Structure 1
């Protein structure tokens, strides 16, 4: 049977996020800027949480160059969980609540497992996971009240193995995948979907931990089915879809955006 879907508003990803308020941690990072701009171009409002002054200024400059509106920037230390919650509550009052949460911010120390202290593990967990929990707690009442919400946790290709010296980071990404599934099950009754996006090896500042950049690029391309490096636009497209009405029947999933590195 040949069925055709009409290109109505409900299936138009860009149109369905217009007017939505997106809480986005790490929004000024290597993968965050292009995504933030794509949301603003679609008419959404973005509350960008990022405490890197240089990066946030670059984000503001990019928004200004395009003549876009709707950006709010807050410099918050994500390891200060009580301060984060207080600031999010203030911002939520200003913007009328958060419709979408994207937990993207992360720290990624690299050294052999035996060189990490338990405090190192706890700090990575605090920034990469606990801060995301606080963001969801701040957004959930509004989402439940309106019967609609989108939560996306940014996982990582490292969760599938293949990288040494990143134990706390990989642990934190595994926790986010687990929370994705737990929240999806619990929040689905309120019209809230929860998914994860696992980026592959994108050329961002995170790659500076590798001592041989050219060799690392060869390693990446050897593992990918698609023989090019990923771009921020690839992540922007995936996120724009998952937070739209078009993805309303998708929840509890981890979408690998990695050029075919990991396949299920």
Structure 2
């Protein structure tokens, strides 16, 4: 038998404990399944009962013992922190993926300040809470991966998403700040910026076919992205293969935005 390449071994997630918010969503489910298949233990947080049921049903029997589902409202930061502290009392988290987000859509002047705060509470403050709980364990073991999910909407090509765009900009800023601050402990922090993927988020558009054509017209690659495209990027950033990459944002958008 040919021995595994050392480079391939660096992509392994075997035995890693991964916290993943929004893990049952359109892009989250496939990534969760991939990480389980690669030997990771996944603490999946989602509060959409239907999506959680679909995730549970999709997990092969052989991997179910590796999945820990938490149905928590991410805006309840006290409960979130308490549950995560219980889960990390005896064993550290190796990877945190801050993915969950809400995305109301309407003109800026129609948002109340409370509605804007609610978006920030879920999209940003939950990420702060998750990272704060995970950091001591990562620091003690001198290894960790923090992955923030940003968005192509930061390019300014979409209307009526001001609080969502603001929240994703905050995550990109935190990515750079955390990368600088945590690097001395062997912890990397990067962001993934998905393009326009066909998920539930597209339901806010009144003409799906026209919107799909709009997406293809802007992409260099003339197909719609799929969840495995995002899963591959997240697996790379969660593994040892990305050990010398930090403070970066990886666009996964078919060549829409080119830096």
TM-score normalised to the size of structure 2?
Answer: 0.96
- 2:36 corresponds to 1:44: no
- 2:105 corresponds to 1:105: no
Cα separation, 1, equivalents of 2:94 and 2:89: 13
Question: Residue deviations 1:148-201, cap 9 Å, x none?
Answer: 000000000001110000000000000000000000000000000000000000
Name the counterpart of 1:238: 233
Name the counterpart of 1:71: 67
Match of 1:18 among 7, 14, 24: 14
The 8 Å contact of residues 11 and 240 in structure 2, kept in 1 or not, is answered as no
Match of 1:82 among 78, 85, 101: 78
Secondary structure of the equivalent of 2:197? coil
Aligned length: 256
Question: What are the equivalent positions in structure 2 for 1:1-264 lying under 5 Å apart?
Answer: 7-8=5-6, 11-15=8-12, 17-64=13-60, 67-93=63-89, 96-264=91-259
The 8 Å contact of residues 20 and 97 in structure 2, kept in 1 or not, is answered as yes
Question: Residue deviations 1:17-56, cap 9 Å, x none?
Answer: 1100000000000000110000000000000000111111
How far did 1:7 drift? 2.4
Report which stretch shifted further, 102-111 or 51-60.
51-60
For residues 224 and 66 of structure 1, do their structure 2 counterparts lie closer, same or farther at Cα, with a shift above 3 Å needed? farther
Structure 2 unmatched ranges of 5 or more:
none
Cα separation, 2, equivalents of 1:115 and 1:181: 32
For residues 123 and 66 of structure 1, do their structure 2 counterparts lie closer, same or farther at Cα, with a shift above 3 Å needed? same
Secondary structure of the equivalent of 2:59? helix
Runs of 4+ in 1 over 4 A off after TM superposition: 65-68
